[in-house]
Structure 1
Amino acid sequence: MSEEEARNFSEFMQVSVANPAAGELYNIQVAAEYTAIDPEGIRSYCRQGFITAVEYRDGEPLFDEDAIYWLRRLQNLRSEMHLDGRALRAVLDLMREVESLRQALRAK
């Protein structure tokens, strides 16, 4: 690959990953932008109990960085591993348990 081709490829492949700030709350539109999940998909995940809004303002859910993290994980599991509802729930429950155990170990 020539230097010019490499530069063009590099420009083509640039990906901007936005990460939420700790302590901030995000409405569903911003959560959708951070996760590449449309707002209705996020609402569906909430209805199914996969994620929970931290609070509601004017009837709209607000999400923290933890919810953004889990939304991204959900999206990855669905798109990469093609998991359906039951399998997705089982994997997420196990992942949350592992994360909880890690935090407990760090606290010791």
Structure 2
Amino acid sequence: PNNLSQVKESLDWAFELDEPSVIIARWPCALKKFSKQDIEEFNNPFTSKCSVNTDKCIGCKLCMKIGCPAISFKSEEKMVSIDSNKCVGCEVCSQVCPKDAISKERN
């Protein structure tokens, strides 16, 4: 569910069917605490955080529309920021940014 192009592809497939359909996402919710089984099965998901490149951010607020609690808009700078204490590293925000201003922080 964190890969937006795959989600769109799955939804397009389901909407084209002339019968009821169900899409089941196997990936655990990014906001839940991962169990030992989740960590083993999904290869230790979300281990790095995302950050905003302030030179690239144009303040369009598209990333705000995903509803992530880690993203906020700074009116005075007219750009977004990501609170690394709240970011789980799902990278959905980076997929919607039209200027590639959001990326994983380097470890």
TM over 0.5: no
Higher Cα Rg: structure 1 or 2? 1
TM-score by length of 1: 0.24
TM-score by length of 2: 0.24
The structure with the greater share of residues assigned to helix is 1
The higher-RCO structure (CA 8 Å, 6+ apart) is 2
The structure with the greater share of residues assigned to strand is 2
